[in-house]
């Protein structure tokens, strides 16, 4: 049975698990440790070490995939919305490889989640354009065309009143402003209608922490495109990172 390890670094939590690559499911518990305040490189690296230790895989030679909440191009992180600004233009993949003493595969978090859903979840066998969005601390996005990832789309940074729309529409905005599901859904409606008009997708998949409660908000959205919750919910990033690491 083929296995790999996935680590999903988020703005709020760093999560990891051992992934069964045949089924795209977790073969272990899902370990989660809060992201250190400020999310600076050295602190994030230490927390990644810690999750791997808790998971019992610190010395494992299984393929390791790491998903990260920023634009990732040739191993470098090029943006920093909910993490320390030091990550901008940083050789992050090499930093983690040196710090962990092993090879890793390094990818944007929403792209990892999209790959998991395309290979093993809600977008399996989906034709045309699937737009995966993760609603968490920020909003992440992944475009998959006939299952093929088009990396580094950043729909959370579409502008709304001069700011990145994720500030207004991510799940963290609902928590911060104590919005009702109805009020939050009205904001999501603005976001998804705009994306629908711009890209004419064939399917929307919604992941992130809030995908545990799809019945609370998906029925409130009026779109022409089918919109479904991620099958792997909050584990999509872990599963996709592991899956990409084994390619």
Instruction: Tell me how far, at minimum, the Cβ of 39 lies from ligand BGC, in Å.
Output: 11
CB of 187 to ligand BGC, least distance (A): 16
Closest CB to ligand BGC among residues 57, 205: 205
Those residues whose C-beta lies under 8 Å from the C-beta of residue 156, and which sit 6 or more positions away, are: 81, 138, 139, 140, 141, 164, 165, 166, 170
Instruction: Decide: is 17 part of the binding site for ligand BGC (CB under 6 A).
Output: no
SS3 146: coil
Contact residue for ligand BGC among 12, 20, 35, 79 (CB under 6 A): 79
Residues 6+ apart with CB under 8 A from 235: 15, 17, 26, 30, 116
The binding track of 22-61 with respect to ligand BGC, each residue x by CB under 6 A or -, is ----------------------------------------
Among 26, 166, 174, 234, binds ligand BGC (CB under 6 A): 166
Segment contacting ligand BGC by CB under 6 A, of 21-29, 76-84, 172-180, 214-222: 76-84
* 197 exposure class (CB count in 10 Å sphere: 0-12, 13-18, 19+): exposed
Instruction: Out of 57, 149, 154, 230, point to the residue binding ligand BGC (CB under 6 A).
Output: 154
How far apart CA 157 and CA 167 sit, in angstroms, is 9
Burial class from Cβ neighbours inside 10 Å (0-12, 13-18, 19+) for residue 183 reads exposed
Residue 156 is a binding residue for ligand BGC (CB under 6 A): yes
Give which of 244, 241, 247 is closest to 52, Cα–Cα: 241
* Closer CB to ligand BGC, 18 or 111, in the complex: 111
- What's the token pair of residue 207? 């992941």
Dig out the tokens for 173 from the structure. 């905005």
Check binding of 131 to ligand BGC (CB under 6 A): no
- State the nearest-atom distance from the C-beta of 211 to ligand BGC, in Å: 13
**8 belongs to the binding site for ligand BGC (CB under 6 A):** no
User: What pairs with residue 132 in β-bridges?
Assistant: 142, 205
Q: Could you give the string, one character per residue 101-120, with x where binding to ligand BGC holds by CB under 6 A and - elsewhere?
A: -------xxx----------
Interface of this chain with ligand BGC, residues 168 to 207, rule: CB under 6 A: none
DSSP structure class, residue 209: G
Q: Pairing between strand 31-34 and 25-26?
A: unpaired
Structure tokens at 86: 């030091």
Is residue 93 at the binding interface for ligand BGC, with CB under 6 A as the rule? no
Nearer to ligand BGC, 20 or 243 (CB): 243
Site residues, ligand BGC (CB under 6 A): 10-11, 69-71, 79, 81-82, 108-110, 134, 136, 138, 140, 154, 156, 166
């Amino acid at each position: 049975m083929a296995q790999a390890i996935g680590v999903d670094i988020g703005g709020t939590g760093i999560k990891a698990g051992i992934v069964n690559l045949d089924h795209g499911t977790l073969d272990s518990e899902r370990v989660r440790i809060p992201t250190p305040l400020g999310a600076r490189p050295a602190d994030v690296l230490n927390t990644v070490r810690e999750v791997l230790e808790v998971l019992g895989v610190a010395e494992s030679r299984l393929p390791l995939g790491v998903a990260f909440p920023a634009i990732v191009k040739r191993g470098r992180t090029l943006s920093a919305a909910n993490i320390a600004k030091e990550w901008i233009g940083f050789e992050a993949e090499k930093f983690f490889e040196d710090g962990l003493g092993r090879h890793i595969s390094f990818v944007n978090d929403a792209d990892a989640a999209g790959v998991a859903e395309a290979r093993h979840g809600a977008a399996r066998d989906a034709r045309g354009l699937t737009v995966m969005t993760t609603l968490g601390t920020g909003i992440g996005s992944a475009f998959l065309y006939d299952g093929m990832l088009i990396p580094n789309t950043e729909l959370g940074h579409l502008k709304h009143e001069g700011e990145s729309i994720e500030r207004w529409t991510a799940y963290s905005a609902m928590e911060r402003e104590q919005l009702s599901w109805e009020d939050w859904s009205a904001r999501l409606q603005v976001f998804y209608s705009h994306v629908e008009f711009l890209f004419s997708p064939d399917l929307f998949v919604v992941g992130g922490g809030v995908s545990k409660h799809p019945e609370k908000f998906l029925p409130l959205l009026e779109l022409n495109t089918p919109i479904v919750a991620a099958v792997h919910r909050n584990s999509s990033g872990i599963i996709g990172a592991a899956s990409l690491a084994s390619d």
